[in-house]
Structure 1
Amino acid sequence: MVDGLQAAGFTVHLAHTTAIRQYDGLKHSGDETDARYLARLLRLGILPTGTILPPEARSVRDLARKRMQLVRSRTSHMLAIENLTARHHGMRISSTQVLRLTAEAIDQMGLPADVALAMQANLAVVTTLCAQIELLEKRLADKVRPRSEYALLTSVPGIGQILATVILLEIGSIERFASVGNFASYARCVDSCHTSNGKKKGEGNIRNGNRYLCWAFVEAANFAQRYCAEAKCFYERKKARTNPIVARKALAHKLARACFHILKENKPFDVTRCFT
């Protein structure tokens, strides 16, 4: 619908619904009343709006989201195979071993016929999903790897090919963020709370922002603390004062800020600048 309206010459605004406070004085409620209220906010210049990415960028981004959906589905079937093995053999096999399983190997496990059939069904789904995920990853690589921003993001510790693809496609253009704080908030790396007289009175809209970016930077933090000495030292210092969850989110915040400056300045990652 958005593409059709834009192609017809209309100026389209994407209203940010969670940032719009409903007017309490309305005596009637309905689509027409809501449309008039939004039009009034637009005329006053106070209508909160979101960014509408170009159609091609949206289609590639949706392809990356579809890959994530298939990966989650594959994980659930792999866990089902691991649980069945643990239940009937008393030992759990690894995800690598699951991917190497064959129908013949399952038949040789000595499982009850119904259990073996269930496991073979899970394995068939896993095999199909692996093929589809590989197909999507190849298409995403063809679309994203030629971009200079992709190479810059992969210079960040903890960010590999998949995470760089997700981050790049979810950001769109870094120019739409006025400051590093706005970007970190959009990536859900900033704490949300309501305070009064120095006391916490509740939390704000913690779901405001991009959940895919939030996932990507938390995953990047998990990998960075394993393979980057400076990131691990930062994580350990934070964990000593708080807890592992808060420390991991603080590291994710660091990496999000680093990515913002990398894309803004078109410069590769500088570990000294990030962790000093």
Structure 2
Amino acid sequence: MNYSGIDLHSNNSVVSVIDETDRVVAERRLPNDLAKILALLAPWRAELAGVVVESTYNWYWLVDGLQAAGFVVHLANTTAIKKYDGLKHSGDETDARYLAHLLRLGILPTGTILPAEHRQVRDLARKRMQLVRSRTSHILAVENITARQSGTRITSNQVKQLDQAAVDQLHLPDDVALAVRANVALITTLSSQIAIVEKRLQEKVAPRPDYSLLTTVPGIGQTLATIIVLETGTIERFASAGNFASYARCVDSQRMSNGKKKSEGNTRNGNPYLCWAFIEAANFAMHFSTEARQFYERKKARTNSVVARKALAHKLARACFHMLKERKPFDVNRCFA
């Protein structure tokens, strides 16, 4: 039996194939050309147990191509792989061999390879978030300009309603007005594109049963339900509510020794988009749910507002896990019991 590891880079990949004794039987640095990578692996295909690909920013084309060609592909969770720090030498070749070595031993930490169709819609939702952040930066710029020039601050909703004629009515100096017009033009364009993206997301996600269940949770509306559905994927890939909450970065990270906290673990391990979604849900839940507000106030009285908000987000994450697992709508008594 043979095992393959691929150390993937932006413009090339190192492909290694090892046997059951870790002996390298094939190895080459190749350009990121699927045909050339498949050609190198072809002679070993019959006895190849699997191919390991690093979970880098550009893995889609390689994983999809290998799967389409019939290979068993594993996506390595790079944040969970720890190499021996005392090694005198390491490089791309040793990294590729190490991935194959972990696969051979059966201890390779892996990530989930979601279907290409799901990833496409999920990335569209992430694009929406990018556009919204960009629009927000331009809105804040206009608010700051008007505050500097007049001493009063207009609201974000007022900024969104501005057009070229409205900018003229602000009676700003010519150069300042030109800057505001540039911001307003970009805000208008971004708002138009955001609306287009949101319409497509609604068409793709709203019919899903998981979406309807999530919208029963106080604090989770259309946007947050869409993000949670797409970033979660299938709920069956999480063994427990704790695993899901950890993936959503809603649990504390710490290393303990003799009953004392010595340090923190990898706080960035998990999904930042789910983390943001549940924190936002907690913020909204405090306004729309009496039970959520009471839970928050109890936690805040013992700790502080930041910890209390994170605790509420953790509660909502666990509740969403049970809802999606059991196919039942939100139960406020169960969540805040």
**TM-score, normalised with respect to structure 2:** 0.81
Distance 1:100 1:66 in 2: 23
Paired letter, 2:230: L
Aligned to 1:46: 107
Relative contact order (alpha carbons < 8 A, sep ≥ 6): 1 or 2 greater? 1
Aligned to 1:106: 167
Q: Which of 175, 182, 196 is residue 121 of structure 1 equivalent to? A: 182
Aligned to 1:251: 312
Aligned to 2:294: 233
Distance 2:245 2:90 in 1: 36
Aligned to 1:154: 215
Is 2:146 the counterpart of 1:81? Answer: no
3-state SS, counterpart of residue 13 of structure 1? strand
Aligned to 1:202: 263
Is 2:115 the counterpart of 1:60? Answer: no
Paired letter, 2:148: R
Distance 1:132 1:123 in 2: 14
Distance 2:68 2:88 in 1: 36
Higher strand share: 2
Mean CA deviation greater in 8-17 or 203-212: 8-17
Once superposed, which parts of structure 1, at least 4 consecutive aligned residues long, lie more than 6 Å away? Answer: none
3-state SS, counterpart of residue 192 of structure 2? helix
Distance 2:103 2:237 in 1: 19
Paired letter, 1:14: L
Mean CA deviation greater in 131-140 or 17-26: 17-26
Give 1:38 shift: 1.3
What are the superposed Cα offsets for residues 81-138 of structure 1, whole Å, 9 maximum, x if unpaired?
A: 0000111111111111111111111111111000001001000000000000000000
Give 1:24 shift: 3.9
Aligned to 2:75: 14
What are the superposed Cα offsets for residues 32-70 of structure 1, whole Å, 9 maximum, x if unpaired?
A: 211211111111110000001000000000000000000
3-state SS, counterpart of residue 201 of structure 1? strand
Paired letter, 1:229: T
Distance 1:147 1:158 in 2: 19
**TM-score, normalised with respect to structure 1:** 0.98
Is 2:205 the counterpart of 1:144? Answer: yes
Mean CA deviation greater in 27-36 or 53-62: 27-36
Give 1:8 shift: 0.7
Paired letter, 1:152: L
Paired letter, 2:222: Q
Mean CA deviation greater in 75-84 or 16-25: 16-25
Distance 2:171 2:232 in 1: 50
Give 1:263 shift: 0.2
What are the superposed Cα offsets for residues 156-205 of structure 1, whole Å, 9 maximum, x if unpaired?
A: 00000000000000000000001111100000000001111122111000
Distance 2:199 2:229 in 1: 16
3-state SS, counterpart of residue 123 of structure 1? helix
Is 2:277 the counterpart of 1:216? Answer: yes
Is 2:335 the counterpart of 1:274? Answer: yes
Aligned to 1:184: 245
Mean CA deviation greater in 135-144 or 1-10: 1-10
Paired letter, 1:32: E
- After superposition, the CA RMSD in angstroms is 0.9
Higher helix share: 1
Paired letter, 2:211: Y
Distance 1:109 1:40 in 2: 67
